[in-house]
A and B are shown apart, each in its own frame.
Chain A
Amino acid sequence: MGLLNYITAHSLDEDYAHVSAQRSSGDHPVRPGSAALVVMLLFGLMVTIAGIRTAHNAPVSQTNHAQLVTQIKARSAKVDARRRQIEAVQADIGTLQAQYSQATAEGQSLSTQLSRLGVRVGSVPVHGPGLRIVVDDAPDATSSQQRVQDVDLQVLVNALWQAGAEAIAINGQRLTSRSAIREAGSAITVNFHSVDRPYVVSAIGNPNQLPARFADTRGGATWFDLHAALGLRFDMTPEESLTLPAANRLSLHFATTPGRLR
């Protein structure tokens, strides 16, 4: 309380009292002069400036507020738009994933189909059980009839196809729809590659059914005759596991499909 009392008691600058006491028996009270004018001018200026500053700052903060509100609205509209975009994109993703899995399934079935076709056409190597038939000239061949001729091999191969063989190769030359077995000079060519004796014909098929069916065909009978009458070698052995290579000449240059191949 002492401090408050002191402040209240000494609210007037003591200098005024000091100076007036020194002035001694003040003959006339001093009127405010030019210094007072300047100080009051300064005071008025300060008050005005402070007032103007405060008045300036208020609208600025109001403007800021309005700007912020506008920005918030704009941003939240943007966020909404982005959210809708995200939903649309997610729907797209779902559609695309469905399409992708469908396409994958289609591709898988196509590649399965392709490899199965390749087995039939001869464009891929094949593996499976089957028969191995080794044919050769008669041991002491004197006439050309006692040798294996291209016709004999053709008959043999046709009989095997007829008996149900799924893939055939002669001395490692895979037979395809474009294969030819013919005589060139003294040698036999398969796929335009000359093959040497003995001729090993590998046929993939059911090893239990192939021999019997082969024997039933006309070609099979022909070969049993050749074996019995002329002494040509004919050894037929069932095999658990045969591997036939892919054919090397399958490219088509002129043949095309009428429509676009699906």
Chain B
Amino acid sequence: MIAGLGLLLGVVLGLLLQPQVPLWMEPYLPIAVVAALDAVFGALRAFLDGIFDDKVFVVSFVSNVLIAALIVYLGDKLGVGGQLSTGVIVVLGIRIFSNVAAIRRHLFHA
């Protein structure tokens, strides 16, 4: 499908180009990836629920990534970057797990 094609293209592009990440951006990349993962699983669940929408996906993806990075950035400035990262990852992890559970129910009807 088109989403899987995009994912594949992105991975191939990343492997081929290996773009340099600015140094200031590097600490926020992992948390942004986790936030993006949450948005992607949410979109997959919505797709299986039959309520998927392109615009909502884009908005949720971008806002998830930005807010996660912003929270960690703020935490770094306040000296509690590690704790805030942990909090963000816990919340996103729970969401990912429950979304994946819903997807599993959809796929296996269990």
Contact = CB atoms under 8 A, between A and B. Distances in A.
A30 interface: yes
Contacts of A54: 30
Interface of B is mostly: helix
Main DSSP-derived SS at the A contact region: helix
B7 A40 contact: yes
B8 interface: yes
Nearest to A35: B54
Contacts of A7: 91, 94-95, 98
A35 B10 contact: no
A219 B78 CA distance: 116
A198 interface: no
Nearest to B31: A50
A37 interface: yes
Interface residues of A, number: 38
A49 B32 CA distance: 12
Nearest to A19: B53
B21 A43 contact: no
Contacts of B43: 32, 36
Contacts of A15: 53, 56, 59-60
Interface in A34-65: 34-50, 52-54
Interface in B22-54: 26, 29-30, 32-33, 36-37, 39-40, 42-43, 45-47, 49-54
